[in-house]
Amino acid sequence: MAVTAFHTYRKDNWWLRPLLIFSGLTAFIIYTTWAAFQGDHYTFGPYLSPFYSPEIFGSSPHAWFGPQPSWWPAIIPFSPAFIILAGPAGMRFTCYYYRGSYYKAFWADPPACTVTEPRKTYKGEHSFPLIMQNIHRYFFYPAAAFVIILAYDAYKAMWFTDVAGETHFGMGIGTLVLAANATLLGCYTFGCHSFRHLVGGIRDQLSKSPIRKISYDCVSCLNRKHSNWAWLSLFCVLFADIYVRLCSMGVWTDLRIF
């Protein structure tokens, strides 16, 4: 008997989860692309949008090496976000959890457990192009550096300059937003499967070192909720950019706690 695509005996709404994932990731990609092309309204006082951090080159006081470099090709529009977004995007795109989700949601491979898929052959990740996903372990290193930089951004977001040019310690809602972003991204990044292997394993077995065993347990603890951290950090980084952007545009007022 020929089995049609999307055939299943399941009676539940199995299509709802892939649909939500498809909608969520599509909305995130559209917004991120739009925000990266803007090239402005990404700072407000001591706040820097995480989509633009680190600002390697740029026009704001947060830029490490000054404004747009003269060697930047004239035919390519410039935005500080273009220089850095490949790092975090690569980490998420190749993440084991996201792969399992967007394979189902975007090309129904398979659409859900015990639901038939619309193809006859299974190539999986053993051949090009998906074999490239194995690069994931190497994205961990730049991703860890991003967490450290964003934590430093959260620290800098505690120092406000007054009208007299004096800098004071303080805290605004934006400080909390940036701190939450760094924390959630840290929980996502340091719960990575590849990092778990890195800290705990030596040649297919767990290390006997007590330090490495404790580290392995900590990473495993984060890893158990990896999908939760993935979504929470995704929403938070999106909201952090929106928050800084709307404050910079004068639409929202950043409330100072002290």
- Residues contributing to the site for ligand FES (CB under 6 A): 91, 95-97, 136, 192-194, 226
Measuring CA to CA, which residue among 87, 96, 117 is closest to residue 8? 117
Beta strands in the chain, from DSSP E residues, in sequence order: 43-44, 47-48, 159-161, 167-169, 201-202, 205-206
Nearer to ligand FES, 96 or 155 (CB): 96
**Tokens at 94, concatenated:** 């190749």
**Residues 159, 169 contacting (CB under 8 angstroms):** yes
**Residues 195, 243 contacting (CB under 8 angstroms):** no
Nearer to ligand FES, 175 or 233 (CB): 233
CB of 189 to ligand FES, least distance (A): 6
Find out whether the peptide bond into 50 is cis, omega within 30 degrees of 0.
Answer: no
Nearer to ligand FES, 147 or 192 (CB): 192
3-state SS string over 86-140? HHHHHHHHHCHHHHHHHHHHHHCCCCCCCCCCCCCCCCCCCCCCHHHHHHHHHHH
Nearer to ligand FES, 79 or 101 (CB): 101
**Tokens at 65, concatenated:** 């090496």
Nearer to ligand FES, 183 or 194 (CB): 194
**Residues 224, 193 contacting (CB under 8 angstroms):** no
Residues 108, 105: Cα–Cα separation, whole Å: 6
Place of tokens 């991120």: 32
Residues 123, 141: Cα–Cα separation, whole Å: 29
Nearer to ligand FES, 15 or 96 (CB): 96
Checking DSSP bridges between strand 201-202 and strand 205-206, what pairing results, if any?
antiparallel
